[in-house]
């Protein structure tokens, strides 16, 4: 599958002309007055990096995207927590999932709150890895 690259911002997308924001938002702006959340974000980012290797970080006004070939995680920064969004091709039934939305017949968006470093565990990393691998598989097919 050939990806479309926005000529203005250089971000890659599945569909040509994909609607998106080209606005650059400095990463540090997400963390102003949010030291606790910054520490949680750094721990989460490093855990993902240890599990998957390198990936690109795209700082948008709404959130921070972790990008391989596609965005596989979005992180929203709040004062005392971070919220991690990812999508999978199956239903998860876990108490820690704060929100799930069926996006299509085989795509489910999940929302996990991270309020403490212990929330960044093997189970979460398995889901993140699965979300990352699903996007890689969709390119090969």
**pLDDT beyond 50 at 102:** yes
State mean pLDDT over 57-71.
Answer: 88
**Predicted confidence band of residue 38 (pLDDT cuts 50, 70, 90):** very high
Helix intervals (H) in the chain: 35-52, 122-140
The larger pLDDT score, comparing residue 71 to residue 46, is at 46
- Classify domain 23-140 at the CATH topology level: 3.90.1150
**pLDDT beyond 70 at 140:** no
Global pTM?
A: 0.83
Question: Would you list the domain boundaries of the chain?
Answer: 23-140
Is residue 75 within 8 Å of residue 119, measured between CB atoms? Answer: no
Name the residue among 113, 135, 127, 137 with its Cα closest to residue 47: 127
- Greatest C-alpha distance within the chain: 44
């Amino acid at each position: 599958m050939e990806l479309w690259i926005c000529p203005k911002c250089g971000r890659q997308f599945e569909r040509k002309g994909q609607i998106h924001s080209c606005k650059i938002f400095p990463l540090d702006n997400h963390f102003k007055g949010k030291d606790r959340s910054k520490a949680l974000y750094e721990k989460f980012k490093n855990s993902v990096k240890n599990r998957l290797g390198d990936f690109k970080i795209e700082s948008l006004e709404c959130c921070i995207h972790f990008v391989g070939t596609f965005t596989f995680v979005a992180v929203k920064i709040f004062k005392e927590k971070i919220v991690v969004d990812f999508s999978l091709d199956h239903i998860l039934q876990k108490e820690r999932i704060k929100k799930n939305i069926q996006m299509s017949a085989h795509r489910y968006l999940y929302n996990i709150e991270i309020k403490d470093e212990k929330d960044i565990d093997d189970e979460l990393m398995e889901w993140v890895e699965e979300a990352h691998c699903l996007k890689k598989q969709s390119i090969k097919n």
